[in-house]
Amino acid sequence: MFNVTRITGFILMGFSDTPELQTVCGLFFLVMYLAVIMNNLLLITLITLDLKLQTPMYFFLKNLSLLDLFFISVPIPNFFINSITHSNSISILSCALQVFLMASFASGELFVLTAMSYDRYISICSPLHYEVIMSSGNCVLMVGVSWTTGVLVGALYTAGTFYMPFCGSIEIPQFFCDIPSLLRISCSDTLVVIYTSFGVGLCLGMVCIVCIVLSYFHIFSTVLRIPTTKGQSKAFATCIPHLTVFSIFIATGCFVYLKPPSSTASIIDKVFSVLYTVLPPALNPVIYSLRNTDVKCALRNLQQNLCSRGSLYFTVQSICPWYTALHFKTKFCNY
């Protein structure tokens, strides 16, 4: 038997012990956070308002952007407040809420990416049955299952993590509560519950990955049989963005959660935690916008509508950092 002190909170160590450098890090993360929020909100607005984007693919993309918004909004605002106030403490309830929300949104994003790969598979491999299979009811059902399953996975991970007692150090060497860091300070001899949670999550993740890989295997096999180069280019243009987003999300997530556990967190762990939380939400709207003609046209139409109503031309450009990269040939508004 050993004594276990009841822990009511943790200390998030962040990136530096120096208050000035901590403030700089907080401001830097705030700028990135605002850019991600604005880009994803603009993409959601375009998909919602433009009639040409009312298709299953963009319906899934809008839900992916929503998940990105919620996902990045869990750790970054809290880190910014802590860096400004220099108060890195977090209650055990808030820590559990962070774990639950991030696991839920990350899992939901993986399931939505799987649904998007299925949508591309039906669109390219069975185009005659596309409207029947990918009806509005089926799309809503797939998205509902993705969100619900994500919440269940998040609840399972949270219960498995906080079922264990914590003792010793209360310092978490990250800027948010993550499961690997919490496992380091656990004093439980048996990790059956958390390993069961990881096992269930890993199985679901592998099922999604296998489904996506098989979908793209059939997609590329079908595309390569298209006789015209123009048809192949059009098919690849709709698949490459999704495959890129999926690869970035899986690569960063696997490094954070599947690498061998260590007693202490290294700077590489912190860097990849940043990439895992910030990189996918930041790149998703950029990747889908720069390679997507429909989104470019929707943004151009939105700008023209703003101009026709007397809005400033630079409004869209100022709220969207990647706007200038789209290279639209537009006219200035006449006032």
**Summary mean pLDDT of the chain:** 79
Task: Indicate whether 30 pLDDT > 80.
Answer: yes
- Residue 277's pLDDT is 85
Q: What is the pLDDT of residues 149-158, one digit of tens each?
A: 999 999 988 8
- Cβ atoms of 180 and 276 within 8 Å: the answer is no
Min mean pLDDT across 7-21, 46-60, 108-122 is at: 7-21
Residue 33 confidence class, pLDDT cut points 50, 70, 90: very high
Q: What is the pLDDT of residues 292-316, one digit of tens each?
A: 777 778 778 777 777 766 544 444 4
Min mean pLDDT across 93-102, 224-233, 255-264, 277-286 is at: 255-264
Task: Taking residues 230-239, report their average pLDDT.
Answer: 71
Residue 147 confidence class, pLDDT cut points 50, 70, 90: very high
- Say whether pTM exceeds 0.85: no
More confident residue, 15 or 98: 98
- Residue 87's pLDDT is 80
- Residue 305's pLDDT is 74
